[in-house]
Amino acid sequence: MKYKDYYEILGVKREATESEIKSAYRKLARKYHPDVNKTKEAEEKFKEINEAYEVLGDKQKRQRYDSLGANWQGGADYTPPPGFENFGFNGGNFHQFNFGGGDMGGFSDFFSSLFGDMMGAGATSRNRGGFSNFNFEDFGEQTQRQTRSRRAPKAQDLDITLNLTVTAKDLFSDNPIPVKFNSMQKCTQCSGGGFCSHCGGTGIVNEQKSIKVKLPKEIKEGQKIRLKGEGKADEYGQKGDLYLVITPKDSVYEICGADLTKEIEITPPEAVLGCKKEINTLHGNITIQIPQMTSSGKMLRLKNLGLPKKSGGYGNLNAKIKIVLPEKLSKKEIELYRQLAH
């Protein structure tokens, strides 16, 4: 069986670091990826570099591969070192290895013979067949899944948390509200330091995203909304989540769950004598009755004129009375106030 030099396939030295191996693999994978290079030679090359990285990118498999010792330099029919005789290098159960499925689908006989026992004994019976069943897409997906599970960063590293201020009008509407934000993340097309049309060689991409968010009913200060898959993305195809921390804030209304509070300004005579006042609400304009002898700070509860509730219906609108003086008073009006003071 022909020995395969995985170091040569990736173009690295045998003493290469994990980072150097990973970098070499990425460059070759981009060059020979079937979406970029449609030639048959590229397809075979892509299989080779994925197989090489499957071994050299895994500490345990790399140690086992390196244990071949001086024999690796021969590059001809391979004779295993002591302890490897039972792994079927001379044919055995793997001589009809099927590239179309099973736990080791897509790997060479050399790989299968060397690592077959590590992949599970059941692989032998599942991997019988011919090369005609080879499915390149299945191979790519399988290799990517194996690489992701071994090399992918923790999902929380890809999450984004943003503060989102919402108004009473936003909370009142049934329509999703637009949210725009910038996301700084690593370029998935390169490692930086060279020409890249995606990031300009910086290795960092500033993405401007715009999404629409449906706000829940009776939302509270500090409540989080999770938008799955709207966070950062990495070179493994993983996506984090976007978390929106809600801050209800409005220039007209004080928001508390489904209830609203709004200041209503009246003059001193209106406070003493009472009056009718037209006010604007989220439900439209209404006229309310201000009772006689109403003090500043008094609350008038207006039922079902607040925000939508989880259980259906609406909260209340609290009209908070605020007594204000006119900007200008005539001499006669000032004199009348003076008489009232005595």
> For 49-57, what is the mean pLDDT?
89
Q: How far apart are CA 342 and CA 196, in angstroms?
A: 84
**Which is higher by pLDDT, 145 or 109?**
109
3-state secondary structure of 191: coil
Task: Give the model's confidence band at 133: pLDDT under 50 very low, under 70 low, under 90 confident, else very high.
Answer: very low
Q: How far apart are CA 137 and CA 146, in angstroms?
A: 14
pLDDT tens by residue, 254-272: 999 999 999 999 999 999 9
Residue with tokens 């605020």: 322
| Burial zone of 257 (CB within 10 Å; 0-12 exposed, 13-18 middle, 19+ buried) | middle
Yes or no: say if 290 and 277 are a contact pair by the CB < 8 Å rule.
Answer: yes
Pairing of strands 317-323, 177-186: unpaired
> Sign of the C-alpha dihedral, residues 95, 97, 103, 105?
positive
Q: b/e string for 10-48 if b means 16 or more Cβ within 10 A?
A: bebeeebeeeebbebbbbbbeebeeeeeeeeeebebbbb
Number of other CB atoms surrounding residue 172 within 10 Å = 17
Residue with tokens 């002898």: 293
Express as a percent the part of the chain with pLDDT over 70.
72
Q: Does pLDDT of 329 surpass 70?
A: yes
Q: Does pLDDT of 105 surpass 80?
A: no
Yes or no: say if 34 and 74 are a contact pair by the CB < 8 Å rule.
Answer: no
Predicted TM-score of the model (pTM): 0.51
pLDDT at 65: 82
Q: Does pLDDT of 150 surpass 50?
A: no
Task: Give the model's confidence band at 172: pLDDT under 50 very low, under 70 low, under 90 confident, else very high.
Answer: very high
| Mean pLDDT of all residues belonging to the chain | 77
Query: DSSP letter at 247?
Result: E
> For 65-76, what is the mean pLDDT?
57
Task: Give the model's confidence band at 119: pLDDT under 50 very low, under 70 low, under 90 confident, else very high.
Answer: low
pLDDT at 268: 92
Q: Does pLDDT of 128 surpass 70?
A: no
Pairing of strands 160-166, 242-248: parallel
